[in-house]
Amino acid sequence: MKTLLKIALGLMLILPGTVLSQDWTRWKADSNQVQIVKTKNGSRIRARVVAINPEYVTIKIFSQTLDLPTDSIKSIKIDDQVVLDQEGRTKVLLTSTAISLGFYGWGIPTALRIKNNQALAASYLFIGAGGFFLPYYLTQKSEVSDAAATGYLYGSTRGIMHGLGSYILAAGERHWDHRNAIGTMCAASIAEGIGFYHLAEKLNYTGGRAEAVGVYGDFGLVNLGIFAPMTLGFDDSRSNGAAILLGSGTGLVAGHYLTANNDYTRGDAFALSDAGVLGGYAGLTIAALTEMKGEKEIPGCVMAGSLTGLSIGERLIRNKNFTTGQGWMIRLSMLAGALTGGGVAYLIRKEPEPKLYSSLSCLGALGGYAVMFSSAAASSDNAVSQNKPVHFYVNPMPLWVKGSRKNNFSAPVAGLQMMF
C-alpha cells in the first residue's frame, strides 16, 4: 500500500504537466480544422471550423458554436496576434494556491511520512509556492474558460471527499491508516481537479451550467452520500464509502441532464443552491417542532426537505437568467432573514427554546429569499422588456414648457421607437 501511494503521489506531480498544458504549435499546424479569423470590426479570435457552406461558416469559439456569414469573416496571417479566452485563469490560480496552502502543503508530506520538522516546513512552503507557479506557467498560452475554472474548483475541492470515500471503500475499518487516507484524498483532489477542468470544456459547459451541475453534485453527496446512510442505518464503513461516491456521482449525472435544456447563469445556480439549503433547514425545523429524537428520523427529514427545496428551486429559476450579483443578493437576503428571525425569537424569549428559534429563523430565511428572489426576477424581466424592438413613449414636458415660457422650444410629445 505504501509503494502504491508513493507511485500515485509521484504521478500527481507529472500529471498536471502532461494534461493541463496545451501544445501551442498544433493550432498553427492543423490549419485544415483550425483557423484564425477576423471579424469586420477588427477583433481577432481563434475558432475551430465545424462546417463550411456557401452562405455561412459554422465555427466554434471557446464553448459557443456560431454560424457566421461567409463574407463577414476573412482569414488572416497565422502569426498575427491571437486573443485567448482566459476568463477563468484567475480563479484557477486562486483555487490552486488556496488548496495547496490549505491541504496539499501538509497533506502530501503527511502521506509521505516525512517526520523531520525542517523538511516538513520546507515541503509546506515549496508546495504552497508550487500551487501558484505551476498552474501559472501551464496556463500562460492556454485557454482557461470560466467553465473550466469552475470545474477545476469543484473537482479539486470535492475530490477530497471522493478520495476519502474511495479509501473507506477499499480499506474499511480494519486496515484504516490516516496517512494513506490523506494521500488518497490528495491524489483524488488533484486528479479530479484536472479531470473536471477538461470535462467542462469537452461538454461545452458555460460557467453557469458548470456551477449548477456542481450544485446537484453537492446535494447528491450530502443527501444520498451522508444523510441517506444515516437514515437507513448503515453500520458497515465500506457501505458508507460507497454511498459517498454513488451519491455524488448520481447528483452530477442528474445535474448534467437537468441543466441541458436551460441556459443557467451563476446567479441561477446560487438561487438553486439556496432553495435546497432552505428546504433542508425547513426539514430540520419540522423535526424540531414534532420533537423527533431518533438518529434516523432527523437526517431523513432534512434529506426530504433538501431534495424538495432543490426541486422547487429548479422550477423557480427557469428562464430567470440572474446575474452573479443578484444571486449573491438572494443568498445574503436569506441569511439576513434568518438572523432577523433569530433576533425576534431572542426578544420574545431569552432562554434557549429550539422550537421558537428554529421556526422564526426559518420563516425569516424563507421571507428573505422570497422577497429578494421576486425583486431580482422583476429586475430581470424589466431589463428584458427594455430591449423590445417596439417602444412607445409619451413626454408631456414640452407642453408644460411651452405653456409657461415664451420661446421657440419644441420637442415631440409622443413617439414610436423601433429597433432593427
Note the pLDDT tens digit of each residue in 354-373.
888 899 999 999 999 999 99
- C-alpha cell at position 112: 509521505
Just give the CATH number of 33-75.
Answer: 2.30.30.100
C-alpha radius of gyration, the chain, whole number: 27
Quick one: pLDDT band at residue 16, thresholds 50, 70, 90? very low
Q: What is the mean pLDDT of residues 293-307?
A: 88
- C-alpha cell at position 340: 432577523
pLDDT at 218 (0 to 100): 95
Most confident of 54-58, 304-308, 345-349, 408-412: 304-308
CB-based contacts of 63, cutoff 8 Å, min separation 6: 145, 147, 201, 204, 205, 206
pLDDT at 378 (0 to 100): 85
Whether the predicted pLDDT of 80 surpasses 80: no
Quick one: pLDDT band at residue 31, thresholds 50, 70, 90? very low
Q: What is the mean pLDDT of residues 254-278?
A: 91
CB atoms within 10 A of CB 318: 12
CB-based contacts of 332, cutoff 8 Å, min separation 6: 372
| Cα separations in angstroms, 167 against 23, 67, 239 | 35, 48, 12
Of residues 19 and 60, the one with the higher pLDDT is 60
pLDDT at 204 (0 to 100): 82
Half-sphere exposure of 287 (CA within 13 A, CB side): 20
CA triplet 31, 36, 41: central angle to 5 degrees? 160
Q: What is the mean pLDDT of residues 205-224?
A: 93
Lowest mean pLDDT among 47-56, 196-205, 285-294: 47-56
Most confident of 18-22, 207-211, 382-386: 207-211
Quick one: pLDDT band at residue 27, thresholds 50, 70, 90? very low
Domain ranges, ordered by start, for the chain: 1-20+86-204, 33-75, 206-386, 388-420
CB atoms within 10 A of CB 134: 18
Q: Please name the helix (run of DSSP H) or strand (run of DSSP E) that holds residue 126, with its range, or none.
A: helix 117-138
pLDDT at 340 (0 to 100): 94
Q: Please name the helix (run of DSSP H) or strand (run of DSSP E) that holds residue 171, with its range, or none.
A: helix 146-171
Note the pLDDT tens digit of each residue in 376-415.
888 766 554 444 444 455 555 555 555 555 555 455 655 5
pLDDT at 149 (0 to 100): 93
Of residues 223 and 1, the one with the higher pLDDT is 223
What sign has the CA pseudo-torsion 235, 241, 246, 252? positive
Note the pLDDT tens digit of each residue in 227-263.
999 888 888 888 889 999 999 999 999 999 999 888 8
- Residue type present at position 355: K
Whether the predicted pLDDT of 308 surpasses 50: yes
Note the pLDDT tens digit of each residue in 35-71.
555 554 555 555 666 777 777 777 766 556 777 776 6
| Predicted structure pTM score | 0.74
Task: Return the SS3 of 74.
Answer: strand
CB atoms within 10 A of CB 104: 24
